Structure 1
Amino acid sequence: MSELLNNSHRRKEVLMKLLMRLHEGESPDTLRTELAETLKGIPYAEVLQVEQEMISLGMPAEEVTQLCDAHSSVLSGLVDVGDAKAAPAGHPVDVFQQENKAILMTISQVRQELNTAIQSSGEDFKKSVIALRTHFNHLSDVDKHYKRKEFLVFPVLERQGLTAPPEVMWGKHDLIREQIKGIHEILLNPELTAEELQPVVDLVIEPALYALAEMVTKEEEILFPMCMDSFSENDWAQVHEHTLEYGFCIVDPVGNWKPTHTAETTAAKVESEVQSGHFQLPSGRLSAAEVQAIFNSVPFDMTFVDNEDKVKYFTQGTERIFSRNRAILGRNVLHCHPPASSNIVERILEDFRSGREERAAFWINMRGKMIHIEYFALRDEEQNYLGCLEVSQNVTRYRELEGEQRILSYGEKKSD
């Protein structure tokens, strides 16, 4: 046992010295070769422990954050995840991993579209830019992925005494958020040309894509395996319980994990309280189950966007018009619309927020159906803006009505 502890101590000592040399300016490629020859493989938990020790010895967390990608480059392929536990389907870690696959897929799509855009001009270039804007709208979803780490996972690590790695990773999250925000602003420039795009790719877009991919690697090889080892089932139950408050990234994950033992009792109790809860309204009293049944039975789609322009709720009726999944929860509604119409949606919301307008209606022909779409400003009794309700309905059958069909004719055969 003492030999194993000594080996662990030596591994961390060697890794610490190599990373310190990286901070002094040595080449990541040189250090990576030396690390591979010296240590062969590094257990995932020791990487975070070394980062913790570096900051404990006085290195600013900001400096570690700035060289986070360089750390990943040095360690790439050398972290030993052979003993990592697999997460069950639907488990919080499995959800993170499903999202990571979608992030990597979107990064690949962005790179393919960039190759097309740089070699195109005129209308073809404009189409590529719109496609790129759509891809980066999806990548903006990493904010939800990162927030679940920051507010649900990191507090558990901090209780376990690992305070520095979450601080470093959170700093990297913020850098990535800023990079994506900057890319959005560049792609919204109507004067952008293919010639101007190339330096933007080199200086801004590619570094952002690299940082996103490296964060995935760090999660998959270091963070999640260590969390699977050290978190209790009750810890995971808490993460699972609050996940929907932040929403999902790009995809609506599959799998339905349920905690067991004491965690299951806690979760079941919470669910029971919700199901038995009632809402006392001025015109009546409804249970949570009744509210859900009403919302999902009306023959139209409803989506609620809160006063911060984040999607907070959508109905799940059988007559869906526009596809929705839980990945949109917590997402800025402007990123849920095609780039060509997002500026109109933004204007509607600004008019609602300012009180200039209370509703906005539109109707379109879609796949042979007449679709009526209306936005409503929602306000409380003091007229404070609460958000926007989008109501979409297939009105084709109503446009075709003739004569009457009274309630007394119920049960009679209806003509199509």
Structure 2
Amino acid sequence: MSERNERETERLAELQRIIRRLHAGEPPQQVKEQLRALLGQVSTEEIAAMEQTLMREGMAVEEIMGMCDLHHQVMAEMIAAAPQEVPAGHPVDTLRRENAALAARASELRTLLEALAAPTTGAPAAEEQALAARAALNDLMDVEKHYRRKENLIFPFLERHGISGPSKVMWGKHDEARALLKALERAWPAAGAPAGAWRALAEGPAARALSALEEMIAKEEHILIPMTLERFAPEEWGDIYRQSPEIGWCLVDPRGGYEPPPPAGGVPAYARSGGAEGSAASAAPGAVSDGVVLPTGSLSLEQLRALFDTLPVDITFVDAEDRVRFYSEGKRVFVRAPAIIGRLVHHCHPPKSVHIVEKILDDFRSGRQSAAEFWIEMRGRFIHIRYFALRDAGGRYLGTLEVTQDATGIRALQGERRLLAYE
């Protein structure tokens, strides 16, 4: 091992020891001073390597999430402060502008709640401030699109560069922020509530939700964005840019001026790289000129695509190696983006549900089970989710099919309809 590599290895080991001490309860200020003396500056690469090493050594994602805020507090000041410039309209430019808009709305909401909590606020002013505060909260709920673009686009490309630890931790922190924002929404006082109710909201649910939101903004600016700019090729940013409209934007629209480079060789990055985390690329089958021939008939590719787009269910196929290989387009219940193709399905779910996914796949692969189903209430809709094991004629496991359907209308049906009637 070269002298430089030995120094880097020792620095990483020392960094892990300090983070473990921090997690054990050592005062952050004391750890911060020791980090300064040791490093002077911590790179995003070292942070990613540290988190992944801790996971490999058996530390749970949830445990790393628990100390994520502490070690970010220590490290944020030590990461290069000057942000790398990108063209207007670049995906990073949009992420930063969304963060600025979210931070502004969070600050506005905090100020309005403090005013509402003041006992001297008159009724007319309080009513106006309450409406403005609710509008600010509604805007903050739009962060869902921001988080989904990270989860469905940024994280898959990080995995292609061999980085999965930070994205797992960050997804878990997304879910914490989501839960806190929903709790704030549920705790919102009724019209005409007294100042004490607003004070309780400001010091409790609002303080927790806004803190989680602002801490995530800081993590993106200090860690995630520099990490992606160091690693992603222009063609990868082009793919992210082209896939982003499917999910949407948070509070702001992309600025003009960015011209995404075309995919190398006309093939998107997710198709070029195959599976995530550096696995070998899978060769895509060439199009058959006379269509797809099956035992029960044949379809042109155009017909086949239209068929999948029109089905009243969402379909996602995971192969025998647990990698996502296909999903149907059209109107979906759960968002999908082409970047997930080739991705390990375990990385397509939040940390709290990964164990369920693994259980289903293990049971299907072993032959113990061949189907599983769930149903949930989501935003006033009744969602039915089913999983089926795919096997060949000899019983060999080929993969898992996920079928999701918004069954709200079906569930409400009564009686019979035997005559033609259009809705």
Alignment of 1:20-99 (within 5 A): 20-80=20-80, 85-99=84-98
Task: Tell me, in whole angstroms, the C-alpha distance in 2 between the residues paired with 1:11 and 1:195.
Answer: 51
Task: Supply the distance in 2 between the matched residues of 1:76 and 1:208 (Cα, whole angstroms).
Answer: 20
What pairs with 1:17-416 in structure 2 (closer than 5 Å)? 17-80=17-80, 85-119=84-118, 120=121, 122-187=123-188, 189-190=190-191, 192-260=193-261, 262-263=263-264, 265=266
SS in 1 for 2:77: coil
Give 1:215 shift. Answer: 1.2
TM-score normalised to the size of structure 1? 0.61
**In the superposition, relative to structure 1, how do residues 254 and 114 fare at CA in structure 2: closer, same or farther (>3 Å)?**
same
Deviation of 1:220 (Å): 1.3
Conserved 8 A contact 1:102-1:250:
yes
> Deviations along 1:67-103, whole A, 9 cap, x unmatched?
2222221112111356x64322211111111111111
* Matching residue's letter, 2:85: A
Any idea what SS the aligned residue of 2:87 has?
Answer: coil
CA contact (8 A) 1:91 1:257 kept: yes
Note the aligned Cα RMSD (angstroms). Answer: 3.4
Distance 1:263 1:116, change over 3 A: farther
Once the two structures are superposed, residues 192-220 of structure 1 have per-residue CA deviations (whole angstroms, 9 ceiling, x without a partner) of 43212223322321222222122111111
Contact 2:72/2:219 (<8 A) preserved: yes
Letter in 2 for 1:251: V
Q: Aligned partners of 1:36, 1:77: CA distance in 2, in Å?
A: 10
CA distance in 2 between partners of 1:151 and 1:77 (Å): 29
| 164-173 or 228-237, larger mean C-alpha shift | 228-237
Q: Deviations over 1:151-207 (max 9, x none)?
A: 011111122222221111000001101111111122253464321222332232122
Q: CA deviation at 1:261?
A: 5.0
Q: Is the contact between residue 16 and residue 50 of structure 2 (CA under 8 Å) also seen in structure 1?
A: yes
User: Per-residue CA shift, 1:253-285, capped at 9, x if unaligned?
Assistant: 212322225459568xxxxxxxxx9xxxxxxxx
Aligned length in residues: 286
Contact 2:103 2:214 in 1 (8 A): yes
Distance change >3 Å, CA 266–CA 131, structure 1 → 2: same
Shift of 1:248: 0.5
CA displacement at 1:354 relative to structure 2: 7.5
Distance 2:60 2:198 in 1: 35
Q: Percent identity between the aligned chains?
A: 33
- CA drift of 1:383 comes to 6.0
Question: Following the alignment from structure 1 to structure 2, what is the Cα–Cα distance between the partners of residues 95 and 245?
Answer: 15
- Alignment partner, residue 324 of structure 1: none
Amino acid aligned to 1:133? R
- 122 and 47 in structure 1: CA distance in 2 versus 1, 3 angstrom threshold: same
1:87 aligned counterpart, secondary structure: coil
Bigger Cα displacement from structure 2, 113-122 vs 147-156? 113-122
Contact kept? 1:114, 1:132, Cα under 8 Å: yes
| Alpha-carbon distance in structure 2 between the residues aligned to 1:191 and 1:264 | 62
AA partner of residue 183 (structure 1): L
Report the Cα distance in structure 2 between the residues aligned to 1:264 and 1:81, rounded to whole angstroms. 37
Cα separation, partners in 2 of 1:80 and 1:176, compared to 1, 3 Å = same
Counterpart of 2:286 in structure 1 is none
More deviation in 194-203 or 93-102? 194-203
Task: Give the Å deviation of 1:307.
Answer: 9.7
SS in 2 for 1:135: helix
Contact kept in structure 2, 1:65 and 1:171, CA below 8 Å: yes
Secondary structure of residue in 2 paired with 1:212: helix
Deviations 1:198-254, CA, capped at 9 Å, x for gaps: 233223212222221221111112111111121122322221111011111111221
1:343-388 CA-to-partner distances (Å, cap 9, x unmatched) read: xxxxxxx99x979xxxxxxxxxxxxxxxxxxxxxxxxx9867xxxx
Tell me if the contact between 1:69 and 1:211 (Cα under 8 Å) persists in the aligned partners.
no
Between the aligned partners of 2:421 and 2:12, the Cα distance in structure 1 is 60
In 2: Cα distance, 1:59 partner to 1:171 partner: 15
**Contact kept in structure 2, 1:61 and 1:168, CA below 8 Å:** yes
SS, match of residue 254 in structure 2: coil
Structure 1 residues 90 and 16, CA, compared in 2 at 3 Å: closer, same or farther? same
User: Is the contact between residue 116 and residue 130 of structure 2 (CA under 8 Å) also seen in structure 1?
Assistant: yes
Flag the 1:81–1:48 CA change in 2: closer, same or farther, 3 A.
farther
In 1, the alpha carbon distance for the partners of 2:257 and 2:3 equals 42
Q: Secondary structure at the match of 2:187?
A: helix
Residue type of the alignment partner of 1:150: E
| 1:106 Cα deviation after fit | 1.3
Residue type of the alignment partner of 1:151 = N
CA contact 1:43–1:81 (8 Å) conserved in 2: no
